[in-house]
Structure 1
Amino acid sequence: MLGSYHWAQEKRGQMTLKEKLYLLQKTFIPTTQHLLQHVLPKQRETIFIDFNKIILPDSTLVKAAIEQLEETQKTSLIYHSWRSYFWGIAFSQIHGWQYDNEAFLVAALLHDIGLIDQHKTSKCQCFTLNSAMQAEQLCKYHHYPENKINLVTNAICMHMNGFTDLSQPKEVIMLQKGTSCDVIGSELHLIDKQFQKQCLENYPREKFNTSFKAYIQEEIKRHPHSRTAFLNKLGLSTLIQLSPFKE
């Protein structure tokens, strides 16, 4: 399946023409809907979600993932990873989803770590594969169950597909929605304003839009046939510019 960990390993993250056409087809409708929401915003009733009652898993693996993320010393990326987690949790509560909190948090914390240390896995043609391989290594070191490692690696690899596949496990969907919300503001209007305020106060943007667009350009130079490069041709940088988050 396009974007899965198996696909990324087999293709090294490099897309074929057929896969590009498939991705174009799958992203057209959600992108159009997102742009219409930006131009014609609608007032919708939101569900109250208590930010302070979200319980973070306190496992050794989670602590190790936090440490690995913080070692990047990239504040904007660190806070983005945390916000993506909380946006994902918000969507899970809105939709009433059951999920593995530990697996989702590990995936959220490490989903972009491959943007920083590209030299660690030089054969990768996509930063998500780099991220997933580092996450897998950490999970195996801490003897994490194989089925949960698969959740983590697939969530990381598939978050860059540009569309939400509702047939996937909830952890995959939550990371797709959480990262998309933080990068381009998709479905932000569904999340309670107080929850938004608390999330942004705890994990401020720190000029994330500017830094993330720079990461995108670096990724495109390294991997011109990756999903990131293709999605940018479809207008990713423009969508970031139009985001309700101004920085």
Structure 2
Amino acid sequence: MMTNIAGIHIPDSQLALDAQDILKEHGSQLLWNHSNRVYLFGALQGEKAKKKYDGELLYVSALFHDLGLTKHYSSEDKRFEVDGANAARQFLAHYQIDENAIQLVWDAIALHTTIGVAEHKENEVALLYAGVGLDVMGEGYYNLTDEERKAIIKAFPRNQFKKEILPAFFEGFRHKPETTFGNIKSDVCALYIPDYKPKNFCDCVLHSPWSE
């Protein structure tokens, strides 16, 4: 695989290669291309903003960020983001990685869909969020040049990504739609589940066991 795309180095350490193997084994071509684009888009935005970040940690975060959608890593009752974060923590525990670095990766993955929070945390967390936002929703699209976008997409094609990613999301948590309460993935459940009625925060307050 190319190790330099659009001026961004893709980590090729043993840690990075092992993380690639896990995504290849348990993910899909859709998630492989998406996760690598997320890293490149996030890192490129970091370079443009002159933000310091650990490329290896950002790359591992990108490769693991959607693994919670897969059968191998999906739990019965946790948000898929937390499943992916837990998988990354378990993976990193086998290497000589500082505990603070492991927590940083965990936060980046767990918060990558948390609008209004992730972008204000550490650079690795913010850049993963930025990479996801650009690839999925086009946020920051014009911060990159046509040449940069084309180089990344040539290496990791989108292949009808708009049409494929939403059903892929849903397949990852269709058995636990309640875990999307309070986050943007509830919109995915509303798209695919007839008469979907998400849990309502106001009802939680008004119908709590408190007498007043």
Q: Please give the TM-score of this superposition, normalised by the length of structure 2.
A: 0.79
1:178 to 1:162, Cα distance in 2 relative to 1, 3 A? same
Question: 1:39 matched to which residue of 2?
Answer: none
Question: 2:205 matched to which residue of 1?
Answer: none
Identity, % of aligned pairs? 27
| CA deviation profile, 1:189-218 (whole Å, cap 9, x unmatched) | 111110001001110012222221112223
Tell me if the contact between 1:220 and 1:229 (Cα under 8 Å) persists in the aligned partners: no
CA distance in 2 between counterparts of 1:199 and 1:55 reads: 12
Task: Specify which structure has the bigger relative contact order, considering alpha-carbon pairs within 8 angstroms and separated by 6 or more residues.
Answer: 1
Does residue 195 of structure 1 match 2:148? yes
Paired residue type of 1:147: N
Where in structure 2 are the equivalents of 1:28-107 lying within 5 Å?
A: 51-72=5-26, 74-107=28-61
Question: 1:179 matched to which residue of 2?
Answer: 132
CA distance in 1 between counterparts of 2:183 and 2:87 reads: 24
Residue 176 of structure 1: CA displacement?
A: 0.5
Higher helix share: 1
Match of 2:94 among 137, 141, 147: 141
For the aligned residue pairs, the C-alpha RMSD in angstroms reads 2.4
1:58 to 1:217, Cα distance in 2 relative to 1, 3 A? closer
How many residues are treated as equivalent by the alignment? Answer: 188
Query: 4+ residue stretches of structure 1 with deviation over 4 A?
Result: 232-238
CA distance in 2 between counterparts of 1:139 and 1:235 reads: 30
Residue 168 of structure 1: CA displacement?
A: 0.5
Q: Which protein is bigger by CA-based radius of gyration?
A: 2
Paired residue type of 2:55: N
Q: Which runs of 5+ in 1 are unaligned?
A: 1-49, 239-247
CA distance in 1 between counterparts of 2:65 and 2:154 reads: 22
Tell me if the contact between 1:220 and 1:228 (Cα under 8 Å) persists in the aligned partners: no
Q: Which runs of 5+ in 2 are unaligned?
A: 192-212
- Which deviates more from structure 2 when the two are superposed, residues 225-234 or residues 162-171? 225-234
